[in-house]
Amino acid sequence: MASVFAVNGEPEVAARSWPPRWLAVACLVVGVTLAYWNSLEAPFLFDDTGAVLHNPTIRRLASLTALNPPSDGSTTTGRPVANFSFAINYAISGENNWSYHALNVAIHALAALTLMGIVRRALSGSFLRSRFGAAAPWLAFLTALLWALHPLQTESVVCIAQRTESLCGLFYLLTLYTFIRGTEHDTDQAADLTTKTPRHEVGRRPRRLFLVPLWLCGSEPGALFWNAISVLSCLLGMGTKEVMVTAPLVVLLYDRTFVAGSFSSGWRQRRNHYLALAGTWLLLGWLVLRSGGARGVAAGFGRGVSWWTYLLTQCEAIILYLKLSVWPHPLVLDYGTAVVHSVADVWWQGLVVIGLMAGTLWALVRKPVLGFAGAWFFLILAPSSSVIPLVTQTMAEHRMYLPLAPVVGLLVLAGYRWFGSRAVWPLVGAVVGLGLVTIARNHDYRDVVAIWTDNVAKNPQVARGHNNLAWALQQQGKTAQANAHFARAVALEPGYVTARYNWGVALLDQGRVAEAIAQFEAAVALAPDHADAYVNLGNALMQVQRAVEAIPQYETALRLRPAADAHYDLGVALAEVGRTEDAAGHFRAALQMNPALPEAHYQLARLAERAGQPAAAESQYLATLRLAPDHDPAHARLGLLLARAGRLLAATEHLRAAVRLKPGDAEARVNLGNVLLLQGQTREAIACYEEAVRLRPDDARIRENLQMARDALR
């Protein structure tokens, strides 16, 4: 191997000698696929619920709603391109998660390939060719492979909602890569470059795209094509995630460092291209303003976290990110929402960060390549790790998706400078080791309980982790463990509304109604605009026969957010206290909002029946059964109604359906027996009564009917 690379006097060979490009591409794709193969069955987690399961805008791919994501502060808010990608997955597999994971892995592999192209061209360019040119292919390959298989990337790839990070990363890298390709065609020196680098290394020049404005960058076909793709990639990135805002700056910095040699020269040669890139900020600005100046409730000022405390928190976060870049353990899905309030708590981290930033500024002047790497790191982190609070998650590993690249790249180049070609074997060992750790980390995502158990074990002071684990345990029927983690979440953060609400729902499911009421009351006291908490508080009060108290809870929920379920629940409560006209009005309002609500028709039928309106009642029962053919109470009530009207054959049909749907309903069997007896079908009636007696042996009325039927046979 030593004879292949040029370093410290070793013989130089052509940059294309090792590895062949096709082999590098194949190894990258295979490596990423193998590393993430065991993640393809990972369930929807954390932010995935809002991005996919509760996202109505992705249901129709052909509709413009796919480009109009919800403005509720979820992962897709203000990010139409990412939302559209989820719509593609929904069109393919609905809520089956395999296609979402497959596309995430494909995006990551493409990003790694693009990074490899960027690093290879940077190292083989005129600025670094003398030091790294001959080794550029394998250095670029190993850099991209280490970056792609690094365990710190698992959250961005495995968590479906974090596609916003990886997809934006892909567009970011494509913006830079296609810009570099454009510069190879953009100057008269391109011909000189191709005399030192084989033509196939530069790439074939595509035909001119006449539909692209010529002012993007000169009139030379190759430059025009690549620069058009660069601007398009930048535009798509702006519609994917806000971190893309720094891409034009990184492109300009790359030009100054590796191509033009100075900002002024780069600006003179490619002014139009930079103006086009800067123009994409207009889209980002419009998207941000459209979502209220920030991402709903997820980010921005005035949301309970000051810029200063968030900045202090980011000092701690950046040091953690750097540590995980070198030693990726422990990896944590959710670091919570805690912030640092005192400089004393992060004084040394702050000094290190300030030192690194100062070193970056110095290097930009004296050591441009090192300065570019540092600027890449800090610029890409700046939108999420500076002074603009992201209140729903103050630290997150997925934010290192792109900033990890310069860290890995510097480590690879340092190893090469210090050890020459001998560094390849430790680097290959690192690739294998990191890949195995990634596979192991993906195993933590195998189910919801496993990942939140891991999160709680590694970060036990985060209330949200306990809440999410508790909810997952509750779904599996492990109520005692669920209650313990709900209690821990509330103890850690007494004002945590979501934990109190979820615990209330869980307690209601467990039949512990009084405790559920206490949690719902705490939730509405903490969050007076929590409509769902009012609805469930009303439901809990109804279960303990406190309809009068439930009514104002439903009314408050409707004032906050009109919804069919709240209208229906209020109608039930009003009917319970005898306000039948008001109840009927709310049942009709529920049907106006949701015509496919069979229970509302059923309740209207019951009200009509009590009011002595059999025709109206029959109509509503039939409407119930059209929507829900297996609605056994509707069959039973309609059967009785028809029997009273003398329509015995029709009554028999519905009562038979009621018995079939609910075999343990003794009352339905008695009613069926009565109708059969009236039709002279005595033996079948006796069978119905006998089964009813078996179900309710102490019911004297049923025994009398049975005896009467037996006497009729004598």
How far lies 76's CA from each of 42, 60, 91, 134, 297, in Å?
20, 16, 17, 44, 13
Both tokens of residue 482?
Answer: 């669920």
Say if residue 438 is in the same domain as residue 570. Answer: no
**What's the confidence (pLDDT) of residue 71?**
84
Q: 228, 216 in Cβ contact below 8 A? A: yes
Q: 112, 145 in Cβ contact below 8 A? A: yes
At residue 390, φ and ψ (nearest 5 deg) are -105, 90
Both tokens of residue 225?
Answer: 């094509």
Instruction: Using pLDDT thresholds of 50, 70 and 90, give the confidence band for residue 410.
Output: very high
pLDDT in tens, 284-306: 999 998 877 655 556 655 567 89
Is 14 contained in some domain? Answer: no
Say if residue 79 is in the same domain as residue 32. Answer: yes
CA distance 688 to 571: 35
Say if residue 229 is in the same domain as residue 362. Answer: yes
Helices H / strands E in the chain, number of each? 35, 0
The per-residue pLDDT of the chain, averaged, comes to 90
Say if residue 426 is in the same domain as residue 352. Answer: yes
Query: Of all helices (H) and strands (E), which one includes residue 128?
Result: none
**What's the confidence (pLDDT) of residue 710?**
87
Query: Of all helices (H) and strands (E), which one includes residue 115?
Result: helix 98-124
Say if residue 593 is in the same domain as residue 699. Answer: no
Lowest mean pLDDT among 33-47, 197-211, 488-502: 197-211
**What's the confidence (pLDDT) of residue 133?**
81
Say if residue 57 is in the same domain as residue 130. Answer: yes
Say if residue 580 is in the same domain as residue 435. Answer: no
Q: Give the chain's domain count.
A: 3
Both tokens of residue 389?
Answer: 């609070």
Say if residue 200 is in the same domain as residue 318. Answer: yes
Would you put residue 527 in left (φ > 0), alpha (ψ -120 to 50) or beta?
beta
End of a domain among 389, 409, 442? 442
Predicted model pTM: 0.86
Q: Give me the percent of the chain exceeding a pLDDT of 90.
A: 82
**What's the confidence (pLDDT) of residue 302?**
53
Instruction: Using pLDDT thresholds of 50, 70 and 90, give the confidence band for residue 74.
Output: confident
Say if residue 185 is in the same domain as residue 306. Answer: yes
Tell me: pLDDT of 132 over 70. yes
Say if residue 625 is in the same domain as residue 640. Answer: no
Is 273 contained in some domain? Answer: yes
Q: 577, 548 in Cβ contact below 8 A? A: yes
CA distance 342 to 179: 43
**What's the confidence (pLDDT) of residue 79?**
96
Average pLDDT over residues 220-236: 89
Is 109 contained in some domain? Answer: yes
CA distance 181 to 189: 14
Of residues 683 and 301, which shows the higher confidence score?
A: 683
Q: Which residue has the tokens 């309030």?
A: 341
Say if residue 152 is in the same domain as residue 260. Answer: yes
Average pLDDT over residues 635-641: 95
Average pLDDT over residues 105-118: 98
**What's the confidence (pLDDT) of residue 13?**
38
Say if residue 616 is in the same domain as residue 652. Answer: no
Contacts of 244 (CB under 8 A, 6+ apart): 168, 171, 172, 234, 237, 238, 280, 284
Q: What is the DSSP letter of 679?
A: T
Average pLDDT over residues 583-606: 96
> Which residue type occupies 239?
G
Helix axes 136-149, 424-444, angle to 10 degrees: 20
Task: Give me the domain span that covers residue 565.
Answer: 551-629
